[in-house]
Amino acid sequence: MRKAERLFKILNLLRSRRTVVTARQLAEYCSVSDRTIYRDIQALSLSGVPIESEAGVGYKLMPGYSIPPIMFTAQELEALLLGARMVQRWGDSQLGAAGDSALSKIRAILPDKLHFDHAIKPEWLIVPDYMPNEAAQFGEQIRSAIKAR
């Protein structure tokens, strides 16, 4: 695994955990030595990532720090696009609009090399009619009732 990939992996793990993560846990997660983790944590800190550390305890990100998770693989983009198309086709108009909005936000932050149009061929992602439009009109009421429960 390249260093950049490992740093990204460490950062994602720290972001996903609210508790302290030890160097040993990070080393096992990345299949490297503890010493490599010490160097990686130092590199992340020097690049501006606010990592709290305590000798013998571990590491965690300082509260309030976040970066948007914008690194999608082509398969992840396929899943998102297919899911949004399913929502547009099978859901009510409110869910369909939310799917459109989510895809627009994703498109806005994707680097060119991972853009929907470049990463996958969306024309093969055809979602058949599953639920007639008449039934979709009740989707919003059903979701509201479930949420209120």
* Tokens coding 70: 């914008």
Residue 118's pLDDT is: 47
Using CA atoms, how far residue 11 sits from 8, 41, 57, 74, in Å, is 5, 9, 18, 21
| Residue 130 DSSP SS3 | coil
> At CA 34, angle to CA 29 and CA 38, rounded to 5?
105
Is 0.75 topped by the overall pTM? no
Top-confidence residue, 131 or 52: 52
Model pLDDT, residue 97: 86
Q: What is the mean pLDDT of the chain?
A: 79
Which of the pair, 70 or 62, is modelled with greater confidence?
A: 62
Q: Is residue 99 over pLDDT 70?
A: yes
The one-letter code for the residue type at 49 is V
Which one of 36-45, 58-67, 104-113 scores highest in mean pLDDT?
Answer: 36-45
**CA R_g for the chain:** 21
Which CATH class for the 3-61 domain?
mainly alpha
Q: Which residue has the tokens 């039934």?
A: 135
Greater pLDDT, 79 or 136: 79
Kindly list the domain boundaries of the chain, sorted by start residue.
Answer: 3-61, 74-148
Rounded-to-integer distance, Cα 80 and Cα 110, Å: 13
**Which of the two residues, 75 and 97, has the higher pLDDT score?**
97
Q: What pLDDT is stored for residue 123 in this prediction?
A: 55
* Residues 9-50: tens digit of each pLDDT: 999 899 888 889 999 999 999 999 999 999 999 999 998 899
118-147: per-residue pLDDT in tens? Answer: 445 555 555 555 555 555 566 667 767 777
